Amino acid sequence: MNLNLTLVGQAISFAIFVWFCMKYVWPPVTEAMHARQKKIADGLDAASRATRDLELAREKAGQQLREGKEQAALIIEQANKRANQIVEEAKENARSEGARLLAAAQAEVEQEVNRAKEELRAQVASLALAGAERVLGASIDEKAHAELVEKLAAEL
């Protein structure tokens, strides 16, 4: 065997064949490979995004829980304060009511005493008058000395 133009002919054929492959065979193959790469990349992206979303959601949930707890604590505190206040108010009311009742009773007692004094005074006046009448006999003009006796009784 020796080298001849056959080799050139095959080289031409091979060049055309390679050109054909580059033009029509290679692109679909590389395209399929790129599509696969893209699919994988998208999948990984989606996965990492989901992980991040989950992280965020967890954080948010934790924050909400914390806020809820804080609010609950606040409400309880307020309630306690209010309860104390009510108790204080009730105590205050009771105390003032007691004082009021005491004062009323005292006033009544005083009034009673005064009335008794008035009565007593009136009786003392007439008693003194009767006494004096007895002492002086009937000589005393009731009308003339009534004023004097009244004055005496008022001094009692």
Partner 1 sequence: MAGANPTPSEYIQHHLQNLTFGMHPENGLGFAHGAKEAAEMGFWAIHVDTLGWSIFLGLIFITLFRSAAKKATTGVPGGLQNFVEILVEFVDQSVKDTFHGRSSLIAPLALTIFVWIFLMNLMDLVPVDFLPALFMALGVDYMKVVPTTDVNATLGMSLSVFCLIIFYSIKVKGVGGFVGELTLQPFGKWMMPFNFLLEGVGLIAKPISLALRLFGNLYAGELIFILIAIMPFWVQWALSVPWAIFHILVIVLQAFIFMMLTIVYLSMACEDH
- Residue (of 124, 119, 115) closest to 153 by Cα position: 124
Q: Interface with partner 1 by CB under 8 A: which range of 3-11, 50-58, 113-121, 148-156?
A: 3-11
Binding mask 9-48 for partner 1 (x = CB under 8 A): xxxxxx-xx--xx---x------xx--xx--xx--x----
- Residues 6 or more apart in contact with residue 129 via CB below 8 angstroms: 142, 145, 146, 149
Binding mask 86-115 for partner 1 (x = CB under 8 A): ------------------------------
Q: Closer to partner 1 by CB, 13 or 80: give it.
A: 13
Identify whether the C-beta of residue 141 lies closer than 8 Å to the C-beta of residue 116: no
Residue 51 near partner 1 by CB under 8 A: no
Identify whether the C-beta of residue 125 lies closer than 8 Å to the C-beta of residue 152: yes
DSSP track, 135-148: HHGGGS-HHHHHHH
Contacts with partner 1, residue ranges (CB under 8 A): 1-3, 5-14, 16-17, 20-21, 25, 32-33, 36-37, 40-41, 44
